[in-house]
Each structure stands twice: as C-alpha cells, then as structure tokens.
Structure 1
Amino acid sequence: MYPDKYIEFLVHFHGDRDYFECHETLEEYWKSTDPNNKKSAWVGLILMAVSFYHHRRENLNGAERTLRKGIVILESRAEEIQSLGLDTDQLIKDLKNRLVLIQNGGHYSSVNLPIIDPILKEECMKFSASKGFPWCFDSNSPDKDIVHRHKRRDRTMVIKERLDALNRKKRQE
C-alpha cells in the first residue's frame, strides 16, 4: 500500500532518529519516481528530515531555511500527504511550532509524526523491531555517529553525481 522506502523513512524518523538516513532513503525513492519535481511531497518530507538533522546539530540557520521550504511544499501537497497516512493539518501545525522554536534558538527535541493510518503505524513498528530500533526513541542525547553522519560518510558517489550534472549542464550550453 505504501512504498517500502517511505516506510523505511518513517522507521528511521521514529526508530533510530537518523534524519540523515531519512534524507538518503527518501531521496533515493524520489529520484527513482519523480526526479525533476522539486515541489514533490517527497521533497517536502526530505526537507523536513534535513531540518531536524540541522536542528539537532545546532545549525539553526540551516534548520530554519530547510523547514521553511519543506512547510511550503507540504502545505501545497496536503492531500498527497494525507494519502501517505499522515494528519496533514497536525503535521503542518507541529512543523510551524518547530519553526518558531528554531527561530527562538530553542533546543532540539524528538518529535513523532502524526501517523493516522493504524495499518501504516503497525507496519512501521514491525519493520522498526526487525531492525532492532525502538519505536519513538527519544533522541535528545543521541549517538554522535548519527548526529554527525554527513561528516562520516563516503562522499564518492555524491561528488560523482555532482560532476556528472555539471558536465551535462556544460554540454547543454
């Protein structure tokens, strides 16, 4: 019923709270299904996760900037978000409250997305358990490897993709 990568995204969001992995997982799915649509609901969810990643790392400017963009997209895709088993109104309200917190210099704290489909929630909880992640883990004192994931990853593919995109752009000019 729901894409596997979306369930994986939700499991990381609520399980190990690895927002970087949330981004990676959903970006992979987005690029395979709707790659040129920067207003996709997937992009809104990706930006939301990136904002949480930045907020936890105390990069308030990055957290605010990405959350603003994410909210705009998610508001414009309200029906699509609802069809993904989330309470769109509650999600937007929660994200706007988080934005105010960030703007006021507030500290990161874990949040749970308003999943309203009990079947989706059950599927996520089963998948989370199979990965050994506690569901709705409190990540206010998280693993430093998760907090600073972007600094510890192999960037070979990212650099290659950026160079390929730059070369394609040069050829088009």
Structure 2
Amino acid sequence: MNEITREFVRLFNEERDFYECHEVFEEAWKAESEEPLKSYYKALVQVATAQFKLNQGYMNGFRKLYGFCFPVLERLPDVYQGIDMQRLRSEFTAQLHQLPADAYITPGTYPQYGINYLSLGIVEII
C-alpha cells in the first residue's frame, strides 16, 4: 500500500471525511500516468464522493457515481494497493440496492433505510 492510499484509507475509515478523501486522491489521479493506478485513484474518488452524496441525501448522485466507477472496480484485482476490492465491490453494490427509490432524501437520514457508510477492508501482504 502506497502512502497516499494509506492516507485515503485513514480519512475514509476513521474520519469519514469523504470530501478530503476526494481531494487527496483527485490530486494523485491527475498526476498519475500509469494504469491501472490512475483509474484506481479516480474510481476511489468516485466511491468517496458517493458516500458524501449519500449523506447529503442525493440518491441519484450516488447512483450516477456508482455507474461511473463500478466498471473500473470490476477490472481491478481482488486485492489492489492493500484494499480488499472484492469486499468493496460487494458492499458498494449492496449499498446501491438498499437506496430508496427517491431521487432525494433528507440529509443524514440514510441510516433509516438500513444503509451504513462503506468501510475499506485492508489486506496486508506479507
């Protein structure tokens, strides 16, 4: 796991600061030229932004971001940069299926729909 991913995971899992996650990885994504790392950064920016949209109540925004990033997540190995991508794909899809049909819900009420924020699983390679 590179240092930028480590910081992203800390912000995502511990602080739930999805806006800052976006900032950290957007810079990395724009600076990176090698694949699949560039696409990975961009997809994780979109996952973090989807969590932000979930909290803000923008269900259609969440759906749109899922549609943008999920094909990239599917192409990544089951473990990439120390993140359990298989778990992320599964839990992100489950989150999508739990969304209410509404385009918008009251901000912060997503738990009433049985939805929780994602947590990135870490796999340490020895």
Structure 2 length as normaliser, TM-score?
0.78
Q: CA deviation at 1:118?
A: 7.1
Q: CA deviation at 1:3?
A: 2.5
| Count of residue correspondences | 115
Larger radius of gyration: 1
Are 2:39 and 2:72, in contact at CA under 8 Å, matched by a contact in 1?
yes
Unaligned runs of 5+ in 2: 103-108
Which residue in 1 is equivalent to 2:105? none
- The answer as to 2:14 corresponding to 1:15 is yes
> What root-mean-square deviation, in Å, do the aligned CA atoms of Structure 1 and Structure 2 show?
2.5
Q: CA deviation at 1:112?
A: 1.2
**Where does 1:7-156 land on structure 2 (aligned, <5 Å)?**
7-34=6-33, 40-76=39-75, 78-79=76-77, 82-104=79-101, 107=110, 108-117=115-124
What is the CA–CA distance in structure 2 between the aligned matches of 1:13 and 1:52, rounded to whole Å?
9
Q: CA deviation at 1:12?
A: 0.6
Any runs of at least 4 consecutive aligned residues in structure 1 with deviations exceeding 3 A, and if so which?
103-106
**Counterpart amino acid of residue 83 in structure 1:** Y
More helix by share: 1
Classify the secondary structure of the residue corresponding to 2:123.
coil
Q: CA deviation at 1:83?
A: 2.8
What is the CA–CA distance in structure 1 between the aligned matches of 2:14 and 2:79, rounded to whole Å?
21
Which residue in 2 is equivalent to 1:127? none
Unaligned runs of 5+ in 1: 120-173
